[in-house]
Amino acid sequence: MESVIKYVQETLGIATSIMRVKQEELNNLPFYILNTYEIWKTVMFNKEVFLLEKATAEQLTPLQYKKQMILLEKKLNSPIIFVLTDMKAYDRNRLIQQKVNFIIKDKQIFFPQLLIDLKEYLPRVQMNIENLQPAAQVIILYHLLKKPMDGLNYKQIAGLLGYSYLTISRAVENLVNLKLCTTAGTKEKTLVLKQGKKQLWEQAMPFMKPPIKRTLFINDELPEDLIFISDINALAYYTDLNNDNLKHYAINHTEFLRLEKEGLIKQTSQYDGDYKIELWRYDPNSLTDTNYVDPLSLYLTYKETTDERVEMALEQIIEQIQW
């Protein structure tokens, strides 16, 4: 723990000391907490903070850390920071999505209550970041799920994904700005993706948005070639989660608007109907070879879930991807 405090001092430029919490201060804490963590106390920016250092090898999900943090902050009436060992960027991103305070020595301090997100490669407070454009997100997902995009020129990418050349040009510029790819050539540029697929996913995920633009209910049946099973129905297909009786579908939002304009959709509702329809920012057909939405877009739909069952299903999805 002394090395952790030294890292905090050097990173934040503050002087602080640490002490182990006395047993009498912990009498109202659950036994499983006392059995899982070594508990310390320090002061950061004039605020008393409890540091919980993992004392077991048990793997917890980000949602479990979130629940424990909320419980402990109520009982101790002070902020809680988990002191964790090194982990993949993907797992750190999931902790950040759940707004879990944590320190990983020599890697990252994330403490949003004090507006701190310091990383080894970004030694400053993290500001709002640019998101991936829909076409840029599709390029990454297509590369991860269907066919390598490395070395393809803009015209080839446009033909594969059904976008215009100009849209692909802007999408690649978006990827370059976020340092997710580079380009080669001058007159006819090609996309360069040097990193492995799992590494690319971990780098890109913080910039990715859920695919759903809008959700509504209808009673009209839609053309089967335009809709793809989504939501809980798709989670049940990819994982051990139970299915839902309501039929959930995803469709490209531009196709839905066209069908509505042509009178094939007579009425929509925000509350109920025979079908729950997700209007997607991009065409779900471009990323799947089945009648189910692709697993990574499904993951992005639920990445900020507070349901532990769904979170476990998302872990299953990631484990099944052939990186």
- State residue 204's pLDDT score: 93
pLDDT at 110 over 80: yes
pLDDT tens, residue by residue, 214-228 = 999 999 999 999 999
Q: In terms of pLDDT, which residue wins out, 109 or 69?
A: 69
- Indicate the SS3 state at residue 36: helix
What average pLDDT does the segment 184-197 reach? Answer: 92
Rounded mean pLDDT of the chain?
A: 89
Mean pLDDT of 69-75: 92
In 3-state terms the chain splits into helix, strand, coil percentages (rounded to 5) of: 40, 20, 40
319: pLDDT strictly greater than 50: yes
DSSP 160: H
Domain 2-119 falls under CATH 3.40.50 = no
> Is the pLDDT at 77 greater than 60, yes or no?
yes
In the predicted structure, residue 120 carries a pLDDT above the cut 70:
no
Write the DSSP string, 170-216. HHHHHHHHTTS-EEE-SSS-EEE--S-HHHHHHHHGGG---SEEEEE
pLDDT value at 117 more than 80: no
**In percent, how much of the chain has pLDDT > 70?**
95
pLDDT > 90 fraction of the chain, expressed in percent and rounded: 62
The single-letter code of the amino acid at 151 is G
Tell me if 139 sits within 8 A of 171, measured CB to CB.
Answer: yes
* More confident of the two residues 54 and 150: 150
pLDDT score recorded for residue 118: 53
116/129: higher pLDDT: 116
Long-range contacts at 103-107 (CB < 8 A, ≥ 24 apart): 103/4, 103/7, 103/8, 103/51, 105/3, 105/4, 105/7, 106/7
Q: What are phi and psi of 144, to 5 degrees?
A: -75, -30
pLDDT, one tens digit per residue, over 288-316 is 999 999 999 999 999 888 888 898 999 99
Indicate the SS3 state at residue 53: strand
Across-strand partners of 81?
51
Q: Are 120 and 269 in contact (CB under 8 A)?
A: no
Q: What is the pLDDT of residues 242-273, one digit of tens each?
A: 999 999 999 999 999 999 999 999 999 998 99
> pLDDT-derived band of residue 63, with 50, 70 and 90 as boundaries?
confident
Q: State residue 62's pLDDT score.
A: 85
Within 8 A by CB and 6+ apart from 41, the residues are 18, 19, 20, 21, 48, 49, 50, 51
Beta strand pairing call for 102-104 and 80-84: parallel
Instruction: Tell me how far apart the alpha carbons of residues 276 and 219 are, in angstroms, rounded to a whole number.
Output: 9
pLDDT in tens, 193-208: 999 999 999 899 989 9
Distance, in Å, from the CA atom of 146 to the CA atom of 141, rounded to the nearest integer, reads 8
Q: How far apart are CA 186 and CA 52, in angstroms?
A: 53
- Considering the entire predicted model, what is its pTM? 0.70
Instruction: Check pLDDT > 80 for residue 123.
Output: no
Architecture of domain 134-207: Orthogonal Bundle (1.10)
Residue 116 has pLDDT above 70, yes or no: no
Question: What pLDDT, in 10s, does the model give residues 168-182?
Answer: 999 999 999 999 999
Q: Which of 110-124, 151-165, 235-249 has the lowest mean pLDDT?
A: 110-124
With bands split at pLDDT 50, 70 and 90, how would you rate the model's confidence at 122?
Answer: very low
Domains of the chain, by residue range, sit at 2-119, 134-207, 212-320
Instruction: Specify the DSSP class assigned to residue 243.
Output: P
Residue 127 has pLDDT above 70, yes or no: no
